[in-house]
Chain A
């Protein structure tokens, strides 16, 4: 095609030529949380972190998925975990992206709750980004109890507790 440009004025109405086309792709799911996740979210609505323990290897998973990835058995015992944990590893986010709701730079961390055997992802606030470190002790900051819902968003973020850092030996298995 060599001369399409000479034809873009065919039928021109004075408006600019069309150069783009919006083609959104949208799929609507009905998500079923299942037993384990539902239990976790009911715990959230009570302001608690509820994990589950594997009956075989005794590892505690949070949020629970209902089975142990190591042993392949159902996790039946529910374990209430504390509100504090340790940053095992983290990432400072400096890149803006569409839909971003938090001001950059912010810290996305893997947090090992006390009593859990797996870390999960959380937001760290109330500390400058360049002071976050592996082993930092943190606690969950919740939204006001009157706003509690069946959602992980009840936890606003984690913040430093002021305790001495955890020894590397205590979390090196969970990196």
Chain B
């Protein structure tokens, strides 16, 4: 049999998972849809008050239950970042961007999101950023309700 007769075909495997988000992440996503970012009050090992963003049902360091949810941000500081020069399909932006940990004002943890900075030259640890929100009618209660972060003072 000729090589040309060897058959090839696309084969797609997809699991359409729907996760239950629980009371804390649920509240976080509900607030995102309304254009607000929530964190959870917690305590460091030594008792210092902290705020965990995104909020979890337990403190990621101590493992203890967290307390009230509080609003943070919307601006924050990039603590670390990595430039994605060739975005892949289904990634948050269709142009080069930075993955970044953003420590929002009032928070003590970094939240992973993307920064639309145009160029890696415009990125720096310590830079201030602000969210660019999707239009209210396009928000669905997901992390992508924040389209991206942009350098503060830039076009939000």
Least Cβ–Cβ distance between A175 and chain B, in angstroms: 31
Which residues of B lie under 8 Å from residue A17 when comparing CB positions? 26-27, 30
Q: Is the CB of B16 within 8 A of A38?
A: no
Does A116 make an interface contact (CB < 8 A)?
no
CA gap between A15 and B58 in the complex, in Å: 27
Does A24 make an interface contact (CB < 8 A)?
yes
Q: What total of chain B residues lie within 8 Å of the partner, measured CB to CB?
A: 43
Does A5 make an interface contact (CB < 8 A)?
yes
Provided the pairs A5-B23, A21-B18, A23-B17 are in contact, do residues A10 and B10 lie with their beta carbons within 8 angstroms? Answer: no
Which residues of A lie under 8 Å from residue B24 when comparing CB positions? 1, 4
Q: Is the CB of A18 within 8 A of B20?
A: no
Which residues of A lie under 8 Å from residue B45 when comparing CB positions? none
Stretch of B64-72, B92-100, B148-156 at the chain-chain interface: B64-72
Q: Is the CB of B17 within 8 A of A19?
A: no
CA gap between A124 and B69 in the complex, in Å: 58
> Number of residue pairs across A and B with beta carbons under 8 Å?
124
Mark A84-111 against chain B: 1 for CB-CB distance below 8 A, else 0: 0000000000000000000000000000
Q: Is the CB of A18 within 8 A of B36?
A: no
Interface residues of A in 4-44 (CB under 8 A from B): 4-5, 7-8, 10-13, 15, 17-35, 37-39, 41-42
Which residues of B lie under 8 Å from residue A170 when comparing CB positions? none
Specify the main secondary structure of chain A where it touches its partner: mixed
Q: What total of chain A residues lie within 8 Å of the partner, measured CB to CB?
A: 37
Provided the pairs A11-B36, A13-B33, A24-B17 are in contact, do residues A30 and B10 lie with their beta carbons within 8 angstroms? Answer: yes
Q: Is the CB of B1 within 8 A of A7?
A: no
Beta-carbon nearest neighbor of B141 in chain A: A18
Chain A interface residues (CB < 8 Å from chain B) = 1-5, 7-8, 10-13, 15, 17-35, 37-39, 41-42, 150
13 contacts between A and B (CB under 8 A): A1-B65, A3-B67, A7-B27, A7-B69, A18-B141, A21-B18, A21-B21, A21-B141, A23-B18, A24-B16, A29-B11, A30-B9, A32-B8
